[in-house]
Amino acid sequence: MKKLLLSGLLAIATIVGVNAQKAGYDPINAPYGHGDDSVKVITNLSLLQTSAKAEAYKDAVAPWTYVYENAPAASKNLYIYGPRIFKALYAKETDAAKKKALLDKVMNIYDTRLKYFNESNPKGDPKGTILAYKVYDYIEMMGMDKADPKFIYDNLKTAVTEMKDKMYPPDAYGYLMGASLVEFHKDNAKKDQYLKDYFAVTGYVDQAIANASAANDKTSVDYLNAVKDGIVQGFVNSGAGDCNTLTKYYADKLDANKSDKKFLTDVVSSLGSVGCTESDVYFTAAEYLYKLEPSATAAVGLANRSLRNNDYDAAVKYYSEAAEMETNKSKASDYMMQLAGIFSNQRNFSRSRQAAYDALKYNPNNGEAYILIGQLYASSANGIFSEPEKAGLVYCAAVDKMIKAKSVDPSVTGKANGFINKYSNYYMDSETAFMMGIKEGQSIFIPGWISENTTARLK
């Protein structure tokens, strides 16, 4: 038994190892070592790469260990393949002590990578990137349910603080906020920490989105927006970001920071994200921000205030400005749809349609805009023609918009089909159409505020 225990400990010690390169090792001028030592390093490095690429991870351990212990600056591949090797062994290991040793080994590899292949090395990576990969491997090995949120938080907080809006991989923003939220839920005294993290991280993400937009990198813009949506949703559901809490949090800080653009942006964005857009704190922050520098965020705040005051002309002005300044075209389209909805509720059909068409200028695939226009047509069907029998033709125009909606935006297909089925019940019947000289498929002009052609459909 003692022999078995000893052999087990020796095996663990071999796996864990120590970064004990030979005395006099020069990682800059002689990363492979000297003479015969360098030949052995190069040979083992080749064996390592051959085995690792073939996923023969057991065979890769010995050559990897030799290079790691004797020439840790020889190749970045040590730190690419190393975690793969020991994660594969970890997945097959059943002994708890050995699994722990393998986990520690992977963590040690990243610490050594930080020493030899950081941003100061032309082949290295930023500290934040290395720490993020370290955390990802930790989560993969431990499983999210057993992972220590403090370990995740501490490492990713350092990573994101280091890289700010340049964080790569960008999903580190989301993982950090997830860990911060867990820490807050474990200890309510960490609410301020969570709030500060939220404001800082969303600021970094917003700037990262702006950077990607300036570079016309739509893929990154879309991904970062998805990351931010997840962060905001977590914030909304966190219990830390309710309207009352945030209003109190900002109220006594507002005047002192009325010239701080970032602070004011945080106030307006955060209150807006939890639907707290009727408070004086929100409106005041938006006004301060707009005076400093007109922005989409500030303009939306002032548009909301205008709506509260029933000043619809001002609301149109500010929503239009917000859409023009918004870098996210989907958001810009949504701003105009908010206006369209307001005018629709007022039964101001013409202005509502115009706002919906303005929304389509920013996002031509906004199916909801066409659905709204179709609903507007249907709502006014009985007031367009002097002959009540022709109301069914207006429903044809409404169906045109529903068909268009699902053609540009498949996500609204179910909704559009529902309206098509409903409106088709109001088509002119064949007998009435015959008496009025209207044929199936005939092009018909719809007068009044609609003023467009449709195709006659009969029932």
What's residue 186's pLDDT?
92
Last residue of a domain, one of 209, 237, 265: 237
Largest CA distance in the chain: 105
State how far the Cα of 303 lies from the Cα of 315, in Å rounded to an integer.
4
Residues 285 and 223 in one domain: no
- Stretches in the chain below the pLDDT threshold 50: 1-20
What's residue 312's pLDDT?
87
Is residue 117 one of the residues assigned to a domain?
Answer: no
State how far the Cα of 84 lies from the Cα of 446, in Å rounded to an integer.
67
Residues 162 and 250 in one domain: no
| Residues of the domain holding 287 | 241-327
What's residue 22's pLDDT?
55
Look at the chain and report how many structural domains it folds into.
4
Last residue of a domain, one of 189, 205, 237: 237
What's residue 1's pLDDT?
32
Is residue 109 one of the residues assigned to a domain?
Answer: no
Is residue 252 one of the residues assigned to a domain?
Answer: yes
Question: CATH number of the domain that 270 lies in?
Answer: 1.25.40
Share of the chain above pLDDT 90, in %: 70
Is residue 116 one of the residues assigned to a domain?
Answer: no
Last residue of a domain, one of 269, 297, 327: 327
Residues 200 and 264 in one domain: no
The string of DSSP codes covering 65-110 is HHHHHH-TTS-THHHHHHHHHHHHHHHH---HHHHHHHHHHHHHHH
The residues, any chain, with a CB within 8 Å of residue 17's CB and separated by 6 or more, are 65, 68, 69, 105
What's residue 29's pLDDT?
62
Half-sphere exposure of 28 (CA within 13 A, CB side): 4
Residues 267 and 321 in one domain: yes
Is residue 334 one of the residues assigned to a domain?
Answer: no
Residues 38 and 14 in one domain: yes
Residues 232 and 250 in one domain: no
What's residue 27's pLDDT?
64
Residues 371 and 459 in one domain: yes
Residues 347 and 459 in one domain: yes
292 alpha-carbon distance from chain centroid? 28
